Amino acid sequence: MTPTPNESDWWRQPAKPLHRPAGEAAARRQAQLTKPPGALGRLEAIAIQLASMQGRERPALERAQITVFAGDHGVMAEGVSAFPQAVTGEMVKNFARGGAAISVLAREQGVRLEVVDLGTVNDPGPLDGVIRLRLAPSTANFTSAPAMTESQFEQALAAGRAAVARAAGAGAQLFIAGEMGIGNTTAAAALACGLIGLPAQLMAGPGTGLDAEGVARKAAVIDRALACHAGQLAEPAEALRRLGGFELAAIAGACIACAQKGLPMLVDGFIVTAAALAAVRMQPTVRDWLLFAHASAEPGHGHLLQMLGAQPLIDLNLRLGEGSGAAVALPLLRLACALHNGMATFAEAGVSEKHG
Ligand SMILES: O=C(O)c1ccc[n+]([C@@H]2O[C@H](COP(=O)([O-])O)[C@@H](O)[C@H]2O)c1
Ligand SMILES: Cc1cc2nc[nH]c2cc1C
């Protein structure tokens, strides 16, 4: 008999399988549209991929949701960011007032935006559009202790799952996770090193704007953290609990929940990709449900994308986070669907097909 999983083990359940017949039907349709076969390049592959995710020959992306997960980091005590920790809470207020980059990108495209405050040192207080799930003012400093307790880790994963449930309940056809957390490029880099076994030097980058000396200090901090948790990182979930952050764990939970529900996730930059890598290591079937939006300017991002076999859609030198790179790439996915669904076939248009 298969044992009933504990509710706290929900993330061990596999993803919904892709709908191969819908993908095959979409590929046949692409071959009939009035263009030389393959002439729309990766836009064709995207439409086919979305068809097999949505289980329909003609995929649709009218409704999307962006959830920005915010959290502070104990490792900020080590001087790892160009900005002060207070910015995380201040930016939560800015999201709520509609003044952040992601607020503009969501508004401009008619996309639902919500913010989840998982624990900020500078508590912004209750705000419209901000869900308060504060687990603690910040994670612990992971150079000397696990970033999260087991209970905090479970709650953070569940917060990501709950956001996906709200998105699916509101009829979203695509989910974008954003993050806000001063110091979280250190957490993302440490987590990536813990998962992949790469040296800190390859993963530590400027983040919000450290100079070369700052980046070297950051790499040394990550090396100390890896030494502190050595021997405890074989389980990906445990690596995420020890070296991640509240928002990274929530995003990993959201990746897994999207895959289980059959909701495509458009992955943003360095931090979201590190969380997605943790999610794929925790439950490998999640990979099928991830689309990769952009190549971040953060130098470690290329290694993470390579580990995931991912080819990002755009490369605009972005390094903001908040889900902004994914929001900027969203119109490409929408256009891929519009072309796929709206173009005439050779037969419909009376256009002659390729020789042979
Ligand atoms: O998404 C990215 O690729 C990205 C790259 C560099 C920085 N960020 C953002 O900058 C913040 C973290 O930078 P730092 O230097 O404080 O670790 C955090 O709020 C992220 O959203 C985001
Ligand atoms: C101002 C500011 C906005 C951000 N948005 C995401 N990360 C950020 C970091 C800073 C510093």
The CATH number linked to 34 is 1.10.1610.10
Instruction: Please report, in angstroms and rounded to a whole number, the separation of the first and last CA atoms in the chain.
Output: 56
Looking at residue 2, its pLDDT comes to 47
Q: Which ligand 1 atom minimizes the distance to the CA of 324?
A: 1
Q: Which ligand 1 atom minimizes the distance to the CA of 82?
A: 15
Question: Mutation test of ligand 2: which of 68, 72, 87 has the most ligand atoms closer than 8 Å to its C-beta?
Answer: 87
Residue 8 lies in a domain: no
Same domain, 168 and 258: yes
Question: Mutation test of ligand 1: which of 247, 320, 324, 328 has the most ligand atoms closer than 8 Å to its C-beta?
Answer: 320
How far, in Å, is the centroid of ligand 1 from the Cα of 60?
31
- Domain tally for the chain? 2
How far, in Å, is the centroid of ligand 2 from the Cα of 52?
36
How far, in Å, is the centroid of ligand 1 from the Cα of 70?
12
Same domain, 81 and 26: no
256: closest CA among 265, 246, 247, 243? 265
Same domain, 79 and 37: no
Per-residue confidence of the chain (356 residues) as pLDDT tens digits? 444 557 889 999 999 999 999 999 999 999 999 999 999 999 999 999 999 999 999 999 999 999 999 999 999 999 999 999 999 999 999 999 999 999 999 999 999 999 999 999 999 999 999 999 999 999 999 999 999 999 999 999 999 999 999 999 999 999 999 999 999 999 999 999 999 999 999 999 999 999 999 999 999 999 999 999 999 999 999 999 999 999 999 999 999 999 999 999 999 999 999 999 999 999 999 999 999 999 999 999 999 999 999 999 999 999 999 999 999 999 999 999 999 999 999 999 999 999 97
Looking at residue 247, its pLDDT comes to 99
Q: Which structure tokens are listed for 9?
A: 């083990």
Q: Which structure tokens are listed for 225?
A: 């953290």
Instruction: Answer whether 182 contacts ligand 1 (Cβ < 6 A).
Output: yes
Asked whether the beta carbons of 159 and 152 are under 8 A apart, the reply is no
Domain that holds residue 39: 18-60+339-349
Looking at residue 17, its pLDDT comes to 98
Same domain, 216 and 231: yes
Tell me the longest C-alpha to C-alpha distance in the chain.
70
Sheet holding 290-292, edge to edge: 130-132, 112-117, 64-70, 174-180, 265-267, 290-292
Q: Which residues contact 32 (CB under 8 A, 6 or more apart)?
A: 345, 346, 347
How far, in Å, is the centroid of ligand 1 from the Cα of 349?
49
Instruction: Answer whether 65 contacts ligand 1 (Cβ < 6 A).
Output: no
Same domain, 213 and 325: yes
Nearest ligand for residue 182 CA: 1
Nearest ligand for residue 271 CA: 1
Instruction: Answer whether 251 contacts ligand 1 (Cβ < 6 A).
Output: no
CATH number of the domain bearing residue 157: 3.40.50.10210
Same domain, 127 and 270: yes
Instruction: Answer whether 312 contacts ligand 1 (Cβ < 6 A).
Output: no
Same domain, 90 and 203: yes
Same domain, 41 and 81: no
Instruction: Answer whether 207 contacts ligand 1 (Cβ < 6 A).
Output: yes
Q: What type of residue is 36? A: P
Same domain, 30 and 133: no
Nearest ligand for residue 90 CA: 2
Instruction: Answer whether 319 contacts ligand 1 (Cβ < 6 A).
Output: yes
How far, in Å, is the centroid of ligand 2 from the Cα of 80?
14
Spot the catalytic one: 24, 322, 348, 353: 322
Q: Each residue of 305-340: pLDDT tens digit?
A: 999 999 999 999 999 999 999 999 999 999 999 999
145: closest CA among 65, 224, 76, 229? 229
Check if 322 is active-site: yes
